[in-house]
Amino acid sequence: MDNLIFHSALFGFIISIAAYEIGMLIKKKFKLAIFNPLLIAIFLIILFLLFFNVRYDEYNRGAKYLSYLLTPATICLAIPLYEQLDYLKKNAKAIIVGISSGVFASMTSILVLSVIFHFNHQEYVTLLPKSITTAIGIGVSEELGGIVTITVAVIIITGVLGNIIAEKVCHTFKIIEPVAKGVAIGSSAHAIGTAKAMEMGKVEAAISSLSIVVAGIITVFAVSIYANFM
Amino acid sequence: MRLLEQFGIILTLTLIVEIIRAVVPLPIPASVYGLILMLVLLKTKIIPLASVKHAGKILLETMPLMFIPAAVGLLNSWTVVKTIVLPLLVVVAISTVTVMVISGRVTQMVIHIDQRRGDAK
Per-domain residue ranges of chain A: 2-68, 78-229
Of A69, A94, A147, which has the smallest distance from its Cβ to B59's Cβ?
A69
pLDDT at B63: 85
Domain ranges across chain B: 1-69, 73-121
In this prediction, residue B29 has a pLDDT band, given cuts at 50, 70 and 90, of confident
Gap from A136 CA to chain B (nearest CA, Å)? 7
Which residues of chain B make contact with A211, given a CB cutoff of 8 A? 103
The answer to whether B48 faces chain A, any CB pair under 8 Å, is no
Estimate the share of chain A in helix, then strand, then coil, as percent rounded to the nearest 5. Answer: 85, 0, 15
Q: What is the CA radius of gyration of chain A?
A: 19
Which residues of chain B make contact with A49, given a CB cutoff of 8 A? 72, 75
Statement: residue A151 has pLDDT above 80: yes
| Nearest CA-CA partner of A59 in B96, B70, B86, B33 | B70
Is B49 within 8 Å of A79 (Cβ atoms)?
Answer: yes
pLDDT at A24: 92
What is the pLDDT of chain A when averaged over all its residues? Answer: 91
φ, ψ (nearest 5 deg) of residue A187: -85, -15
In this prediction, residue B121 has a pLDDT band, given cuts at 50, 70 and 90, of low
Average pLDDT rounded to a whole number, residues A202-227: 91
Which residues of chain B make contact with A105, given a CB cutoff of 8 A? 95, 98-99, 102-103
Of A46, A73, A176, which has the smallest distance from its Cβ to B75's Cβ?
A46
Gap from A1 CA to chain B (nearest CA, Å)? 24
| Nearest CA-CA partner of A176 in A195, A204, A214 | A204
pLDDT at B38: 96
SS3 of residue A35 by DSSP: coil
pLDDT at A216: 93
Statement: residue B69 has pLDDT above 70: yes
| ipTM summary value | 0.89
Average pLDDT rounded to a whole number, residues B40-61: 94
- Render pLDDT for A20-76 as a digit per residue (tens, 0 to 9): 999 999 989 987 878 888 889 999 999 999 999 999 999 999 999 998 998 999 999
Contact A97 B42 (CB under 8 A): no
The answer to whether B46 faces chain A, any CB pair under 8 Å, is no
